[in-house]
Amino acid sequence: MKLSLKNIKYSEHASQETNNFVAELYVDGKPFALVHNEGTGGCDMHHKHDKNPQSYSDFNQELNRIMTWHKENIQVPCEDEEKGWYAGCLESAVNDILVDHLIIKDVKKLMSRSMIVFEKGKKGFYKYGKKKYSITADRMGWFNNQMWQKFQENWVCINNMPIDEAVAYYKAN
């Protein structure tokens, strides 16, 4: 079962205990539901997508089936639980997709304005503003030389990676 979110509208300022968002939930590439959360700690709400041809009764049965599938098939690692995991749920799956979307958006924004450099073996990153340091495509040799002098071979610049690798490295470090 492949879940995806489209047309995500997220409100950081309205998010209190949970993420405040509205999105279209697609299941196996087909429009299924509109999902939203008011951001005040409550559960996600699901409403049948206008492009979903199912009756409301069939939609509710399918929603229950999807929720049950996640509970029975997904184990989320958790140190606080005696067994080391807890049963997955549709809400946590949607939240994971939303958080990944927000991280990708943040990383793209960071990389558009700055060179993002990680020192290997350490958490966190250095941000070198492209305007401040006049970093352009023809000055990348200069920038790489500066990083080499500062960190030797112990540095990684995620701007030089495809976006999916850059996001994975960003999340891991």
What are 92-130's pLDDT values in tens digits?
999 999 999 999 999 999 999 999 999 988 899 999 999
Distance of alpha carbon 19 from alpha carbon 36, whole angstroms? 9
Provide the 8-state DSSP code for 140: H
Cβ neighbour number for residue 5 with a 10 Å cutoff: 17
On average, the pLDDT of the chain sits at 93
Query: What pLDDT sits at residue 92?
Result: 92
Q: What is the residue whose two structure tokens read 């030797």?
A: 152
Q: What percent of the chain has a predicted confidence (pLDDT) above 70?
A: 100
Q: Domain ranges in the chain?
A: 3-88, 113-172
pLDDT-based confidence at 137, cuts 50/70/90? confident
More confident residue, 80 or 111: 111
Provide the 8-state DSSP code for 26: E
Query: What pLDDT sits at residue 39?
Result: 93
- Taking a C-beta distance cutoff of 8 angstroms, is the pair 74, 90 a contact? no
> Does residue 132 have a pLDDT over 90?
yes
10 Å CB burial of residue 162 (0-12, 13-18, 19+) is exposed
Distance of alpha carbon 157 from alpha carbon 76, whole angstroms? 31
Query: What pLDDT sits at residue 40?
Result: 94
Distance of alpha carbon 11 from alpha carbon 22, whole angstroms? 9
- Taking a C-beta distance cutoff of 8 angstroms, is the pair 21, 42 a contact? no
More confident residue, 150 or 9: 9
- Taking a C-beta distance cutoff of 8 angstroms, is the pair 77, 65 a contact? no
pLDDT-based confidence at 34, cuts 50/70/90? very high
Query: What pLDDT sits at residue 130?
Result: 93
Query: What pLDDT sits at residue 28?
Result: 96
Q: Mean pLDDT over residues 59-69, rounded?
A: 97
Here the tokens at position 33 are 């539901």
> Does residue 79 have a pLDDT over 90?
no
Provide the 8-state DSSP code for 29: T
